[in-house]
Amino acid sequence: MKPISRQTVDEVLQRLDIVDIGRTTIRQCVNVSHELEWISGEKFVHLEFGIPGMNACKVGLDAQKEALDNGAASVYPPSCGIHELKENGSRFIKAFVGVEISPEGIVPTVGSMQGCYNLLLECIQMNPEKDTVVYLNPGFPSHYVQAKVLGIKTRMFDLYDFRGDKFREKLEEVFRDGCVSAIVYSNPNNPSWVCLTEDELKSLGELCTKYDVIALEDMAYMCMDFRKDLSMPFLPPFQPTVARYTDNCVLMISASKIFSYAGERIAMVAISDKLYKREYLALRERYGIGRFGDNFSLTYLYVNSSSCSHSAQYAFAEMLGSAADGKYDFVGQMREYGRRAGKAKEIFLRHGFYIVYDKDLGEDVSDGFFFTIGYDGLTGSQLLLNLLRCGICAITLVATRSTREGIRVCVSLLNSEKDFSDLDERLGSFERLMMDENR
């Protein structure tokens, strides 16, 4: 396609009340691209959404429809989750993460979004002197907004600047004053796809124990570090986790990506056995219930939404069970994202781009759901503006609290060969545009 004029883009931004494209939400970016699609008459290449690009897992669909036929729709689900989900969730974690978490600690949530939201709130309320949450950047944009909505103090640093031994030192620095209640991160990391190693997680776990910090580990993309084969249930290697090194942890596992089940808003938190039973005086005084795990489901989740879709709980239970039984190979399905990432990276690099977060300690970062792209001499905002002119939509790294300049690329919607050839052709336009402007 022919590049859209700078003026047209500026007019659209003005009309949509956007001052800096680099600081918009994903939703606003999408609105800009929709306007430009309409004006140019060309469909954009969409790299902004972190949404599944595959069909929902059929095992889940069948179970959900059966649950609807069996009367699940008229009955409130228990706020701690249905029995089957608790059992299979525990078994799935044993199979793919290699740690033991009792069924009691498995509680379904309306996506990990709701899990994280309520865990943050509980962590902040259970210990009056611990009023701060730490984020490992870059990260999932909405996690930062959660802290803003809940009025929680935050600390953060860019993980990329503190890998290996430096990670432990930096963590100790931010934990030392005793104000930190919890730390939030996703592994693999959204958007950089950097993966914390078992060594780094060991440091984190030990320091969480030492400073009484709860690790909230978002496993949205679990087992998608395709450099290792994490697909065999109950066999190593397992998905790395902090849960091997501390009891102060909660895992968040969503069906959205691993089972392409984002629409039904179903996930689970897995609270370590020891944390589940831990008694907090401040919670007992406030709610008449003292234990961490009981409060999570009976207080926080209950008044937030009275649990989540009953039929989707049956779907999730069945998918987790089927994966643990080795009948449904979710890792094999997800490898498709790795293939798409490899192909997309090759195209970007060929057109003069570079990978922003390129290394994972010594190795190249793995090919997965996301990667990060920069272009010499352009800020993230400038890069995004020019990509929009060429029919490509994405979000900048600013929204992910990165200190680096560039954009986040999600490969999930690169479904067909045509998507890749469109990407190639448009990055060609971009390259010519850059040459013209620098002439």
Give contact residues for its own copies (rule: CB under 8 A): 23, 25, 27, 49, 51-52, 54-56, 60-61, 64-65, 68-69, 71-77, 79, 109-111, 113-114, 117, 121, 142, 145-146, 148-149, 256, 260-265, 286-288, 298-300, 302-312, 315
Nearer to its own copies, 32 or 243 (CB): 32
Q: Are 124 and 152 in contact (CB under 8 A)?
A: yes
Shortest CB 286 distance to its own copies, Å? 7
Q: Quote the CA–CA distance of 92 and 241 in Å, as a whole number.
A: 14
Nearer to its own copies, 4 or 61 (CB): 61
Nearer to its own copies, 44 or 348 (CB): 44
Shortest CB 244 distance to its own copies, Å? 30
Shortest CB 321 distance to its own copies, Å? 17
Shortest CB 140 distance to its own copies, Å? 10
Q: Where does residue 401 fall: left (phi above 0), alpha (psi -120 to 50 degrees), or beta otherwise?
A: left
Shortest CB 258 distance to its own copies, Å? 12
Shortest CB 26 distance to its own copies, Å? 10
Nearer to its own copies, 156 or 356 (CB): 156
**407-410 and 370-374 as β-strands: parallel, antiparallel, unpaired?**
antiparallel
Closest by CA position to 185, among listed 149, 213, 151, 148:
213
Q: Where does residue 307 fall: left (phi above 0), alpha (psi -120 to 50 degrees), or beta otherwise?
A: left
User: Which residue, chain included where needed, has tokens 């800096």?
Assistant: 20
Nearer to its own copies, 170 or 265 (CB): 265
Nearer to its own copies, 171 or 399 (CB): 399
In the beta sheet, which residues pair with residue 134? 155, 183
Kindly state the DSSP code that residue 247 receives in the 8-state scheme. Answer: S
Q: Quote the CA–CA distance of 139 and 337 in Å, as a whole number.
A: 19
Nearer to its own copies, 140 or 375 (CB): 140
Closest by CA position to 124, among listed 178, 176, 182, 177:
182
Amino acid at the residue 322: S
Shortest CB 201 distance to its own copies, Å? 26
Q: Where does residue 158 fall: left (phi above 0), alpha (psi -120 to 50 degrees), or beta otherwise?
A: beta
